[in-house]
Amino acid sequence: MFSVCLLSRYMDSPTRQHLLAAKRVLRYLKGKIKHGIWYKRNHGEEVKLLGYTNSDYAGDSNDRKNTSGCAFFLAGAAISWASKKQPVVTLSTTEAEFVAAAYSASQCIWL
């Protein structure tokens, strides 16, 4: 998902290098087409919804914006995930993590 997000930044003026990277992503996805998502419940255990989030502080050296990501798991299998370059510039790692947490919370409410 991060690779697609990163490649989408160069859609207005792609180079040969971007095309090669996009082809590599597509080859990877083609190789995983038969893989499925398995939801397994152990007897006596509750089915749990778990969410994880992370952010990089000023990860883009061009505009110092951070990229946030989140993933949600049900019964140990991924059901939703996202990666997004944030529209704001944060001033600290703590603020970057709070922005990521707010983004993840909005995704969780949707679930």
Is the pLDDT score of 51 beyond 90? yes
Confidence of residue 37 (pLDDT cuts 50, 70, 90): low
Alpha-carbon span 103 to 97, nearest angstrom: 10
Alpha-carbon span 89 to 5, nearest angstrom: 18
Confidence of residue 23 (pLDDT cuts 50, 70, 90): very high
Is the pLDDT score of 43 beyond 80? no
Phi, psi values for residue 108, rounded to 5°: -65, -40
Average pLDDT, the chain: 85
Is the pLDDT score of 18 beyond 70? yes
Phi, psi values for residue 60, rounded to 5°: -90, 115
Is the pLDDT score of 108 beyond 70? yes
Is the pLDDT score of 5 beyond 80? no
